[in-house]
Amino acid sequence: MATVGRPKRGVPEGLWIRCPSCKATVFRKEAESRFNVCPECGYHFLLPARERIRQLLDQDSFEEWFTELRPKDPLGFRDRIPYAERLQAEQAKTGMADAAVVGKGYIRGRPVVFGVTDFAFMAGSMGSVVGEKLTRAAEEATRLLLPLIFVSGSGGGARMQEGILSLMQMAKISAALGRYDQAGGLYVSILTNPTMGGVAASFALQGDITLAEPKALIGFAGKRTIMNTVRLELPEGFQTSEFLFQHGFVDRIIARKDLRTELARIIDYCEH
C-alpha cells in the first residue's frame, strides 16, 4: 500500500559518533556513559572542562574562582578574522569566558585546588587569562596549603594572537609553581590528548607526579612541523603518553575511569 505524502523517518542526527582510532560507529550515549571513551577500543575522546570537573570532583563540591577575568585584544590582532570577533565566537560556542576553569573542590572528601584547560576554546591555547587563572590557582593552593591538580588539554600552546603576553604566561605559572613547591605543596599534573606547545614546555610537565591518559599526544612541536623545519622523521609512537612513560617523562598512564580513585590514593599517600 502506497504511503503518499508520508515523511521519511530517518535516524536523528548526533545519535552516533565515529571513533577515530578503531573507526567503529559508536552510540553516543554509551560513550558518554563511559566519560567519552570508546566502548570498542578504549579511545579517549575529548572531554569538556565541565564534564571533567563532574568526573573527578565530588558532586556539587566545585567552587569556581576568578570568573570575572575576561580576555582582551591588546595587540589588535587580525588574521582571517579579528581576534576580538574570534573570542566572541568561541565564547558563544563553548559558554566559557576562556580556555581555563579553576577553583576549589573535593575528591572523595579530600580538598584540592583544581584547574583544567579545554581544547574546545581555541584549542585550549594559553592566553593571558588562562595564565592568570592558573597562576592564581597555584598561589591560592600555596596560601591554603592544599594539593594542586591541573588537567591539561591544550593543543594550541601559547596563543599567538596575544604575542609575548601569551609567552610570558609560561614563566609566570612556572614561578608560581616554584613558590608552591618551596612551600611543600603537592602538584599533580594530568596530561590529556593533546598537550602541546608552550603548555607542555611549562606547567604541564612540571608536576611532582605526572599522570597521562592512554595514547595522548604530548610534546612541543607536532610531527608535521618537525618534518617541515628540521626534516627529521620521528620514531614510531613518538610524542605519545606511552613513549613518554617509557622514557621517564610520565609517572603513570591511567585510564579515565580510574583517575578519580588514583588521585584520592595519591593525595592520601603523599599527604600522610
What are 158-212's pLDDT values in tens digits? 899 999 999 999 999 999 999 999 999 999 999 999 999 899 999 999 999 999 9
The two beta strands, 148-152 and 63-64, are unpaired
Same domain, 62 and 33: no
Same domain, 20 and 55: no
Alpha helices per DSSP H over 47-109: 49-56, 83-94
Same domain, 203 and 247: yes
Tally of residues, the chain: 272
Structure-model confidence comparison of residues 223 and 75, the more confident one: 75
Residue 117 lies in a domain: yes
Residue 229 has pLDDT above 70, yes or no: yes
The mean pLDDT of 226-238, rounded to a whole number, is: 77
How high is the pLDDT of residue 174? 97
Residue 118 lies in a domain: yes
Give the pLDDT confidence of 75-86 residue by residue, as tens digits: 999 989 999 999
Same domain, 33 and 54: no
CB 158 within 8 A of CB 166: yes
Residue 60 lies in a domain: yes
Alpha helices per DSSP H over 13-63: 28-33, 49-56
Same domain, 106 and 52: yes
Residue 13 has pLDDT above 90, yes or no: no
Same domain, 115 and 232: yes
Cis peptide bond upstream of 194, omega within 30: yes
CA separation, residue 185 to residues 57, 120, 250, 252 (Å): 19, 30, 19, 20
Residue 7 lies in a domain: no
Same domain, 176 and 222: yes
Same domain, 31 and 101: no
Same domain, 108 and 125: yes
Instruction: Give the count of domains, the chain.
Output: 2
Interatomic CA distance for residues 255 and 195, integer angstroms: 16
Residue 215 lies in a domain: yes
Interatomic CA distance for residues 239 and 215, integer angstroms: 9
Residue 236 has pLDDT above 70, yes or no: yes
Residue closest to 200 by CA, chosen among 257, 117, 129, 112: 117
Same domain, 241 and 206: yes
Residue 120 lies in a domain: yes
Residue 9 lies in a domain: no
Residue 156 has pLDDT above 90, yes or no: no
Residue 228 has pLDDT above 80, yes or no: no
Same domain, 77 and 116: yes
End-to-end CA distance of the chain: 76
How high is the pLDDT of residue 170? 95
Q: Residue 7's pLDDT band (boundaries 50, 70, 90)?
A: low
What SS3 state is found at 119? Answer: coil
How high is the pLDDT of residue 6? 57
Residue 183 lies in a domain: yes
Q: Which domain holds residue 148?
A: 46-271
Residue 220 has pLDDT above 60, yes or no: yes
CATH of the domain at 207: 3.90.226.10
Same domain, 156 and 33: no
Amino acid at 68: E
Residue 115 has pLDDT above 90, yes or no: yes
